[in-house]
Structure 1
C-alpha cells in the first residue's frame, strides 16, 4: 500500500482516537523515510497519544526530522525550548528553530520569529526583521501578522511611517477575524488616520472586537453604554 494511503489510514485511526494503532502505522511510514510521519511520531510522544508522554522521546524524533529539513518538527522544537519542556529553557535555541521553520514557509513560525525580533527575545531586537517576517506570515494569511505589521507602519517602527498602509493592514486583519485588528481598525476610523473619519464604523469595529473579548474594546463599549450613548 502506498504511503499516501497508509497516512490517510493513520489519520483516520488518530481521529477515531485509536492512538496506538495510528502510532504503529506512523512509525512504519517514518521508517520508509517519510519525514512528516517522523515528526508526527514526535508529536505523539509530545502529547502522550498512545504512549507514555515523554518530552525526551518527542525531542529525539523532532530532531531527526528537523535535521533532515522537516519544518513542523523545527517549530515544535522551538516551542519546547521556549517553554523549557524536556530541555532547559533557552529562548535563543527557540528562535533558532523557529527561524528554521520560518525559512521553510511555515506561517506560524514566521509570525513567532517576527514577534521575537520585535521584542528582542532570543535575538537582538530588530524591527526591520520583524516587519519582514510579519509580512511573510501575512502573505500566507496570518491575521495577527497583518495587525502587528500595521502597528509598525502606524508608529513608523522598522518601516517608513504610513497611516494609509497601517489602515489597509488593520482592515485585512479585522476582516480575517482578529480582535486586535478589529480594535485597531476602529481606532483608525475614530481618528481618521489613513482613512476618512467615520464614527459609525469606529463603533462597529469596536463592538466586534468587544464581542470577541478584547478588553480595551469591552471597556470602551461599557463606558459608552453607561453614558447612555449606545444601546449595547
Structure 2
C-alpha cells in the first residue's frame, strides 16, 4: 500500500514538472527572436532594418524593436505586449532607452495598469544610465494630476530645468504647461514663447491661444494667426482647426 502511494506521488510530481516545463517553454517561445521577427516581416521591413544595424548592440536592437511596437510604423501594428517584452530583454543590459520605454508603459498605462511607482523607478534608472528623455519624463510624471495623487510642482520644475540641457524645446513647453496649471500666466507665456521660438508646435499653438483669447497679453488676431499657422504647418490639428475658424471671422 505504501509502495502504491509513493508511485502515485511520483507520477503527480512528473506531471507537475512537465506542466511547469511546458509553461516556461511557452513563455520563452511566446515571441519570435530578432532573426525570426525579420524573417516573418520580410527583408525590407523595419524589423530587418533594425536587425541589420551594424552600429547597434544587441540591447540597442531590442530597445529599438520595443519602440517599433510601442508606437507602430507603416505596416507595423502597435503591440504593447511585444513592446514590453523587448524592452524587458534590453533593460537587463541596463539600456537606458529600454528603461525609459518601460517607464512610459507604466506612466501611460500602455498594455499595463498605470503605476506611478514603477514609472518613477524606471525613469530614475534610465536617467542614471544616461537617457536623454528621462529627466523630462520625470518632470511630466510629477506635473500631472494622475495616479490618485496631487502634482508635485517643485519636483517637476526641478526636473524640467535639468532637462533643458537635453531638450530645451520640450523643457520650456513643459514648464509653460506647469505654470498654466498654477494659473501663473506671466511665466506660462514666457516659457511658451521660448519653446515656440525653438519650433515647438504645441507651444506655438498655445501662443496662438494666448493672443486669440487675450490671456495675459492683449488680444491680437494677427499674432494669433501667425502662431497658429506655424503650428499648423507642423501638422498640429488644434492649430489647423483654430486657424480655419479665425480666418472665417
Where do 1:115-126 residues align within 5 Å?
Answer: 115-121=140-146, 125-126=151-152
Query: Residues 150 and 169 of structure 1 are in contact (CA less than 8 Å); yes or no, is this contact kept in structure 2?
Result: yes
CA offset digits 1:166-194 (Å, max 9, x no partner): 33321221122222201222344453737
| C-alpha distance in structure 1 between counterparts of 2:84 and 2:229, whole Å | 46
2:125 maps to which residue? Answer: 100
From the superposition, tell whether residues 18 and 170 of structure 1 become closer, same or farther in structure 2 (CA, over 3 Å).
Answer: closer
Q: After TM superposition, give the deviation of residue 204 of structure 1 in Å.
A: 0.8
| C-alpha distance in structure 2 between counterparts of 1:41 and 1:94, whole Å | 22
Matched residue count: 193
| C-alpha distance in structure 2 between counterparts of 1:192 and 1:80, whole Å | 35
From the superposition, tell whether residues 107 and 142 of structure 1 become closer, same or farther in structure 2 (CA, over 3 Å).
Answer: farther
Q: After TM superposition, give the deviation of residue 91 of structure 1 in Å.
A: 4.2
| TM-score (ref. length: structure 1) | 0.61
Q: After TM superposition, give the deviation of residue 94 of structure 1 in Å.
A: 2.1
Q: After TM superposition, give the deviation of residue 132 of structure 1 in Å.
A: 1.7
Q: After TM superposition, give the deviation of residue 199 of structure 1 in Å.
A: 4.5
Query: Residues 42 and 59 of structure 1 are in contact (CA less than 8 Å); yes or no, is this contact kept in structure 2?
Result: yes
1:114 maps to which residue? Answer: 139
Q: After TM superposition, give the deviation of residue 152 of structure 1 in Å.
A: 2.6
2:244 maps to which residue? Answer: 222
Where do 1:72-221 residues align within 5 Å?
Answer: 72-82=97-107, 83-85=109-111, 90-121=115-146, 125-154=151-180, 156=182, 161=184, 163=186, 165-189=187-211, 191=214, 193=216, 199-221=221-243
From the superposition, tell whether residues 56 and 187 of structure 1 become closer, same or farther in structure 2 (CA, over 3 Å).
Answer: closer
Q: After TM superposition, give the deviation of residue 205 of structure 1 in Å.
A: 0.8
Q: After TM superposition, give the deviation of residue 59 of structure 1 in Å.
A: 4.5
5+ unaligned residues in a row in structure 2: which ranges?
1-43, 70-75
| C-alpha distance in structure 2 between counterparts of 1:118 and 1:192, whole Å | 22
Query: Residues 38 and 61 of structure 1 are in contact (CA less than 8 Å); yes or no, is this contact kept in structure 2?
Result: no
Query: Residues 185 and 215 of structure 2 are in contact (CA less than 8 Å); yes or no, is this contact kept in structure 1?
Result: no
Q: After TM superposition, give the deviation of residue 146 of structure 1 in Å.
A: 1.2
| C-alpha distance in structure 1 between counterparts of 2:84 and 2:169, whole Å | 33
From the superposition, tell whether residues 223 and 109 of structure 1 become closer, same or farther in structure 2 (CA, over 3 Å).
Answer: same
Q: After TM superposition, give the deviation of residue 126 of structure 1 in Å.
A: 0.8
Query: Residues 23 and 44 of structure 1 are in contact (CA less than 8 Å); yes or no, is this contact kept in structure 2?
Result: no
Q: After TM superposition, give the deviation of residue 206 of structure 1 in Å.
A: 2.2
The answer to whether structure 1 residue 42 and structure 2 residue 62 are counterparts is yes
CA offset digits 1:107-160 (Å, max 9, x no partner): 422222222211244576311111222222233224233112023335546xxx
